[in-house]
Amino acid sequence: MGRASLALLCIAVQPSSGRAAPVDAPLPDHSLYQQGEEMPGGTASHQNALSRDSFSHPVTTLTLAQRLDFRLGDALFRKLWVAAPSSTTASDGLGPLFNARFCQSCHVRDGRGHPPVANEQPTALFLRLSIPPARPQQQQMYSGHLASVPDPVYGSQLQNFSVQNVPAEGKVRIQHEEITVTMTGNEQGVLLKPVYHIDALGYGPMHPQLRLSPRVAPPMLGLGLLEAIPAEQILAREDPEDSNNDGISGRAQWVWSSAEQRLMLGRFGWKAGNATLADQNNSALANDIGIGNPLFPSAYGDCTVAQQACLTAHNGNTPAQENLEAASTMTDLLLFYARHLGVPARQDARDEEVLAGKQQFHQAGCAQCHTPTYTTSTDTTPALAQQTIWPYSDLLLHDMGPGLADEHQEYRAAGHEWRTAPLWGLGHTRRINPKAGYLHDGRARTVLEAILWHGGEAEAARNHVAQRMTPTQRQQLLTFLESL
Ligand code: HEC
Ligand code: HEC
């Protein structure tokens, strides 16, 4: 057995320390290169030259015919939807209420979105809306059958755009509060906390106890591989009562899948509110763009009965699309695309500074939630099966403290709970979308800011970075994260 595989074994048996990192017992040497870590998407990782399109390449395991389907799906992901009626019935049906006209508007070049700049209206972020659940609704949410209780007039998402003759729901305004953080070596950071307001309401007052949850579009890389991680591997890391007493719990999200018609482990979205890519894609079509589809057939998306102008607007249903706005032929291609977006190979996984940073990452306790590696299921499409992948996430929900909390509950995830964000591809973020920020609402301008926002279960790890690492060690950590 080589050194690398020995190191892998050590992670698996690393004992619990009884408190969060750092541990006093000698740690396994994470500064060693581990076999395969430069290929985060397994052998399916692509080695294309770095560019603004680094997230847009397919996994390398597709057949020629499949690459064609991928291209067709790609075209649908970029397709600009127009209002009905229009002469191009295959592209109409936009809205009547919508957040954007196409998927790529938010998932910029298949990377992440960004909060609006200055006084613009958001085009790559939206606000989820909810009101406090009554007790029976609370039970339905906990059991995975109800995402949240929508505002009776505005629905479950604020659509700040609309087709002609239908009022938009409102305008988003953001204010920032500054928080100064002092770290070792007298280094300082300034965090900007966004506070969201909604102005110019199109349909009268909102519920007095309305709850807002701003969400920026996450990057699209490697999603089919995440879907192919066997659920048992994720559930094995669950520790809802923190029974090993390491300060880290981790809870699975459970949600009803409209695609599979059963209760499933949630994996996608910032609160793991969708179990499958089919559910996530089709609800995006319906709610973000207003396109009815086989899973969510209404042509009116998130319109409520209180929004008559919306419900009486033209729709784009057509016999050519199975009497929907987007037929299953379209959504199947879109799904194929989302499933097979690849992960770029890492360039400098063996650099000394990078490896030193990896050691810092483990020592600070980051890997307690950002689980480095998995092997995908055998029971999936051959292009994604049995890959050793390095997404750096446990896909579980964690209490991240008051700094990151909003009041919106989604299924069983409270306002302060978020799904551990996968870290693969992190270093490509700004090349792909120069306006992008980190975290669920894009508030962090740098990776270091994202770390400094960690609280709750992650507070010990965050404090380790801010108060125990030397500036040099902190830089090594960042070099490692940028290399992902
Ligand atoms: C208005 C912006 C917007 C548009 C348009 C949009 N998305 Fe998204 N997308 C988001 C946001 C925000 C999330 C995270 C949602 C959450 O946290 O629940 C997301 C999440 C996703 C995810 C899960 C990613 C992950 O890492 O968990 C997929 C897949 C996805 N969208 C696909 C699509 C597809 C396909 C389309 C076009 C039909 C689309 N999206 C259009 C904003 C958008
Ligand atoms: C208790 C679990 C936990 C620990 C420990 C933890 N994280 Fe996280 N991390 C999360 C969660 C959950 C999110 C998503 C939070 C959000 O978006 O509001 C996240 C987000 C991030 C992000 C932003 C990713 C993105 O796509 O925007 C970075 C970077 C990150 N973590 C790095 C680290 C580093 C470095 C450490 C160790 C110092 C660490 N994390 C420790 C749970 C954790």
pLDDT confidence bin for 27, thresholds 50/70/90: low
- The half-sphere exposure of 459 on its side-chain side, counting CA atoms within 13 A, is 11
Least confident of 22-36, 374-388, 417-431: 22-36
Helix (H, G, I), strand (E, B) or coil at 183: coil
pLDDT at 8: 39
CB 81 less than 6 A from any atom of ligand 2:
no
- The half-sphere exposure of 277 on its side-chain side, counting CA atoms within 13 A, is 20
Ligand number with the minimum distance to the CA of 272 = 1
Whose C-alpha lies nearest to ligand 1, atom 39?
Answer: 103
- Cα–ligand 1 centroid distance for 218 (angstroms): 7
CA gap 297, 157 in Å, rounded: 18
- Cα–ligand 1 centroid distance for 154 (angstroms): 20
Whose C-alpha lies nearest to ligand 2, atom 42?
Answer: 420
pLDDT at 25: 55
Least confident of 84-93, 389-398, 413-422: 84-93
- Cα–ligand 1 centroid distance for 111 (angstroms): 11
Cis geometry, peptide bond prior to residue 85 (ω within 30 degrees of 0): yes
CB 81 less than 6 A from any atom of ligand 1:
no
For residue 9, what are the contacts with CB-CB under 8 A and spacing of at least 6?
none
- Cα–ligand 2 centroid distance for 33 (angstroms): 23
- Asked if 251 contacts 140 with a C-beta cutoff of 8 angstroms, the reply is no
- Closest-lying ligand 2 atom to the alpha carbon of residue 441: 17
Whole-number mean pLDDT of the chain? Answer: 94
| Maximum Cα interatomic distance, the chain, rounded to a whole number of Å | 70
- Cα–ligand 2 centroid distance for 393 (angstroms): 9
CA gap 263, 277 in Å, rounded: 15
- Asked if 441 contacts 194 with a C-beta cutoff of 8 angstroms, the reply is yes
Amino acid in position 145: H
- For 419-460, give the DSSP string: EPPP-TTGGGHHHH-TT--BSTTS-BSSHHHHHHH--GGGHH
CB 339 less than 6 A from any atom of ligand 2:
no
CB 440 less than 6 A from any atom of ligand 2:
yes
Compute CA distances 130 → 109, 278, 327, 411, whole Å: 30, 24, 30, 12
* In the block, residue with structure tokens 């007052």: 205
Least confident of 25-39, 234-248, 260-274: 25-39
* In the block, residue with structure tokens 């229009």: 86
| pLDDT mean over 254-279 | 98
- Cα–ligand 1 centroid distance for 353 (angstroms): 34
CB 357 less than 6 A from any atom of ligand 1:
no
| pLDDT mean over 15-25 | 42
Number of Cβ atoms within 10 Å of the Cβ of 40? 30
pLDDT digits 0-9 by tens, 437-470: 999 999 999 999 999 999 999 999 999 999 999 9
- Cα–ligand 1 centroid distance for 288 (angstroms): 8
- Closest-lying ligand 1 atom to the alpha carbon of residue 99: 1
CB 174 less than 6 A from any atom of ligand 1:
no
CB 106 less than 6 A from any atom of ligand 1:
yes
| pLDDT mean over 344-373 | 97
Helix (H, G, I), strand (E, B) or coil at 132: coil
| pLDDT mean over 243-260 | 95
| pLDDT mean over 201-206 | 97
- Cα–ligand 2 centroid distance for 451 (angstroms): 6
- Helix, strand, coil share (%) of the chain residues, nearest 5: 30, 15, 55
Burial 98-132 (b: 16+ CB within 10 A, else e): bbbbbbbbbbbbbbbbbbbeeeeebbbbbbbbbbe
What pTM, to 2 d.p., does this model score?
Answer: 0.94
CB 127 less than 6 A from any atom of ligand 2:
no
Cis geometry, peptide bond prior to residue 96 (ω within 30 degrees of 0): yes
Q: Is the pLDDT confidence value at 14 over 70?
A: no
CB 99 less than 6 A from any atom of ligand 1:
yes
For residue 463, what is the enclosing H or E element?
helix 459-463
CA gap 367, 480 in Å, rounded: 13
Whose C-alpha lies nearest to ligand 1, atom 16?
Answer: 269
CB 395 less than 6 A from any atom of ligand 2:
no
- Cα–ligand 1 centroid distance for 180 (angstroms): 32
CA gap 122, 106 in Å, rounded: 9
Q: Is the pLDDT confidence value at 337 over 80?
A: yes
Nearest to 358 by CA among 2, 31, 4: 31
Higher-scoring residue by pLDDT: 4, 151:
151
CB 100 less than 6 A from any atom of ligand 1:
yes
pLDDT digits 0-9 by tens, 70-116: 999 999 999 999 999 988 888 999 999 999 999 999 999 999 999 99
- Asked if 313 contacts 299 with a C-beta cutoff of 8 angstroms, the reply is no
| pLDDT mean over 242-270 | 96
- Cα–ligand 2 centroid distance for 352 (angstroms): 24
- For 340-364, give the DSSP string: HB--BPPS-TT-HHHHHHHHHHHHT
Number of Cβ atoms within 10 Å of the Cβ of 22? 16
Ligand number with the minimum distance to the CA of 358 = 2
Percent residues over pLDDT 70 in the chain: 94
Number of Cβ atoms within 10 Å of the Cβ of 470? 11
- For 74-123, give the DSSP string: HHHHHPPPBPSS-S-TTSB---SEES-SSHHHHSGGGS---PPPTTPPPS
Inter-helix orientation angle 64-78/328-340, to 10°: 110
pLDDT at 389: 98
